[in-house]
């Protein structure tokens, strides 16, 4: 589709990234290579919550200057994890304020004595506001959970005889109208009902505000002249894959760059030189979503080798980036991957399970991906915050398509649309695009979930955020997820795909499933009439208590969840023949929320329990998703056969994927 929208986006994308992201610095995922080493700092850290009235005792006593154990009682805290559910102190579970983490690290001698080696501390996620010290020296500050940040600590660890360093991280989980997600602190001043100074954290999102070091913390090294960032966009021209690359280097202006693209067998298929260029791959293996092609999720490897001259002589750096060649485009009625219509049939997820909270966990991650493949799901939305980098990497490998969403959930108050909030939202989108721009699995950005987009300031706010995101990455469409009706939504004119959440016969018309089909049909027809854009049913579902059965169906029974889904599916089957391009169930699995009379130990809309066991609805969706997958594969095979002059109806088997 060279010369088409995808081609124009790809070229412009490389130019814009060169301007925008170079200013922010790179965020390449730390990988071992001949020139780089990484060391994970997972395990038990010392931990202490600041329970003082003003939550400032740690700063007043400068806890970062000495080991935490010398300043008061500490507890062991696993990293990564959420701190809320690990201990037995009820105060910690709902704690709001500053908590402190500490870890003593022994460094390899070569890291501390080689002055031409950079030593970098990387925090994968600290929710929400983090301050970092190394050996009592402040090295970093970051606002916003869910995304990584770094600090070059070379000078601190290479200036003395010590081979160890003490890392101290203070984290504050307080949410305000200007954070993302927003929140408010409510002080209860009636001392006849509440203790003096009593306050609570209020939020407008329906999941628990887990906090802590949620993602891996690690140290890694690079040479002092190093590859800082790589930006890749891809296109296809009559079977030839086009890989446009731009490479950013820090530490020297005198260097050479050699680039090679390797296939999955390690063979060189294209090569180039210089900081930017285009690699051409004849008869390229395209990256396809799994369930859509006989060879899905094909990944090439982009090898970048840097050679530079320093005062100590020649130095080199080496980095390998997985690359999937694919295109994404949107028409009035279709979402296209590699020029073929793509239908999202998948889930919304939360990084939430048992006492880990939102802490990254490999066994849980692999289990979830096995369940996705069992289910026949081809996509998910990162509701309602960016997931770990390792999740994105598995999506690339397994062919799971991702709608990558920012933490823009709970934007409901007028003050959350002011310039302070807008500026922070733009920064978050820069960090998200910078981190995830090279993942072929990411096919669309979502800037928010269920904002009050009918408020007057929302028009300028979302116009600005969406335009900024498109400028950062013109190669992907941009959306946000709405629950406002089509006549009132002031942000919808600026999105490429309409994503709508609705819970008919759940949050209203309780128990009356006979109204679902007419209400859902009306919803789709009104949105398409106004905007003439493809539509995704981005959320729908019903709370269900596993093992609770009622016939005739009653709310919270497994039968009610199944019947409600079937009513939605009847309409979706009609409209996916027209302009509906996706359906994402809410939710993949049950998850924890704040305590309230509405929620019995969390949100129960999962088709799996929080322990990843299936409810009846999981089997219903499995049959549906595999049926859609079979139809999609048969349709694509038929198109291919006709192009070759063969009739697909002579095939002995039309079942391209077994549900066994």
Length of the chain: 660
Six token digits for residue 393: 């990497």
Contacts of residue 569, Cβ cutoff 8 Å, sequence gap at least 6 = 583, 624
Degrees to nearest 5, angle at CA 474 with 472 and 478: 90
CA distances in angstroms from 499 to 445, 523, 528, listed in the order given: 12, 12, 11
Give the separation between CA 27 and CA 24, rounded to whole angstroms. 9
* d(C-alpha 434, C-alpha 236), whole Å: 23
Unique residue bearing structure tokens 């200013």? 23
Q: HSE, CB side, 13 Å, CA atoms: give it for residue 153.
A: 30
Structure tokens that stand for 271 in this block: 């090569």
Q: Are 612 and 371 in contact (CB under 8 A)?
A: yes
First to last CA, the chain: 37
For residue 131, give the H/E element and its range: strand 129-134
And the tokens for 636? 């694509």
If DSSP codes are grouped into helix, strand and coil, which group holds residue 27? coil
CA distance 447 to 426: 10
Q: Which is catalytic among the residues 37, 430, 431, 450?
A: 450
Angstrom distance (rounded) from CA 125 to CA 435? 12
Describe the chain by its helix, strand, coil percentages, rounded to 5. 25, 30, 40
Q: Which two tokens stand for residue 53?
A: 């009235």
Residue 450 designated active-site = yes
Nearest CA-CA partner of 21 in 386, 387, 433, 304 = 433
The residues assigned a catalytic role are 450
């Amino acid at each position: 589709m060279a010369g088409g929208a995808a081609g124009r986006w790809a070229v412009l994308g490389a130019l814009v990234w060169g301007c925008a992201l170079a200013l922010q610095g790179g965020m390449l995922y730390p990988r071992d290579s001949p020139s780089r080493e990484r060391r994970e700092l997972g395990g038990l850290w010392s931990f202490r919550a600041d329970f003082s009235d003003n939550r400032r005792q740690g700063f007043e006593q400068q806890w970062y200057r000495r080991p935490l154990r010398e300043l008061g009682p500490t507890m062991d805290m696993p990293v990564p994890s959420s701190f809320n559910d690990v201990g037995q102190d009820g105060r910690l579970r709902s704690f709001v304020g500053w908590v402190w983490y500490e870890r003593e690290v022994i460094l390899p001698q070569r890291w501390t004595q080689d002055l031409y080696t950079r030593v970098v501390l990387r925090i994968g996620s600290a929710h929400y506001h983090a301050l970092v010290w190394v050996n009592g020296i402040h090295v970093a500050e970051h606002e916003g959970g869910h995304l990584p940040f770094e600090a070059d600590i070379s000078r601190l660890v290479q200036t003395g005889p010590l081979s160890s360093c003490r890392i101290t991280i203070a984290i504050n989980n307080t949410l305000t109208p200007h954070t993302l997600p927003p929140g408010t602190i409510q002080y209860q001043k009636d001392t006849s009902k509440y203790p003096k100074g009593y306050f609570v954290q209020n939020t407008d999102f329906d999941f628990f505000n887990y906090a802590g070091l949620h993602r891996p913390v690690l140290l890694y090294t690079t040479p002092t002249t190093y590859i800082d960032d790589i930006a890749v966009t891809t296109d296809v021209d009559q079977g030839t894959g086009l890989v446009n690359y731009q490479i950013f280097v820090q530490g020297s202006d005198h260097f050479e760059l050699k680039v090679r693209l390797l296939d999955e067998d390690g063979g060189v298929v294209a090569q180039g030189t210089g900081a930017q260029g285009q690699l051409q791959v004849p008869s390229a293996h395209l990256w396809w979503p799994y369930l859509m092609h006989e060879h899905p999720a094909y990944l090439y490897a982009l090898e970048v080798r840097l050679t530079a001259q320093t005062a100590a002589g020649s130095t080199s750096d080496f980095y390998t980036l997985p690359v999937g060649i694919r295109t994404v485009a949107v028409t009035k009625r279709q979402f296209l991957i590699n020029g073929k219509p793509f239908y999202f049939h998948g889930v919304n997820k939360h990084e939430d399970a048992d006492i880990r909270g939102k802490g990254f966990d490999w066994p849980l991650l692999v289990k979830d991906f096995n369940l996705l493949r069992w289910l026949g799901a081809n996509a998910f939305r990162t509701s309602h915050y960016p997931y770990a980098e390792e999740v994105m990497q598995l999506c690339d490998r397994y062919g799971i398509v991702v709608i990558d969403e920012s933490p823009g959930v709970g934007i409901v108050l007028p003050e959350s649309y002011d310039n302070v909030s807008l500026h922070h939202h733009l920064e978050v989108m820069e960090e998200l695009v910078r981190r995830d721009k090279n993942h072929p699995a990411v096919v669309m950005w979502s800037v928010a979930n269920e904002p009050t987009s009918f408020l007057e300031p929302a028009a300028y706010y979302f116009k600005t955020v969406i335009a900024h995101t498109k400028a950062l990455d013109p190669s992907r469409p941009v959306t946000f997820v709405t629950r406002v009706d089509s006549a009132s939504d002031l942000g919808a004119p600026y999105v490429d795909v309409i994503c709508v959440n609705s819970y008919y016969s759940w949050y209203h018309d309780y128990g009356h499933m006979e109204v679902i089909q007419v209400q859902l049909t009306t919803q789709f027809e009104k949105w398409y009439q106004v905007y003439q854009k493809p539509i995704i049913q981005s959320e729908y579902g019903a709370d269900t208590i596993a093992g609770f059965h009622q016939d005739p169906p009653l709310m919270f029974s497994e039968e009610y969840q199944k019947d409600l889904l079937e009513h939605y599916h009847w309409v979706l089957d009609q409209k996916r023949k027209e302009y509906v391009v996706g359906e994402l169930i809410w939710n993949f699995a049950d998850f924890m929320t704040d305590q309230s009379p509405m929620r019995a130990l969390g949100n129960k809309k999962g088709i799996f329990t929080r322990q990843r066991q299936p409810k009846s609805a999981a089997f219903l969706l499995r049959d549906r998703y595999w049926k859609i997958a079979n139809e999609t594969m048969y349709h694509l095979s038929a198109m291919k056969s006709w192009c070759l002059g063969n009739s697909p109806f002579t095939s002995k088997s039309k079942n391209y994927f077994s549900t066994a």
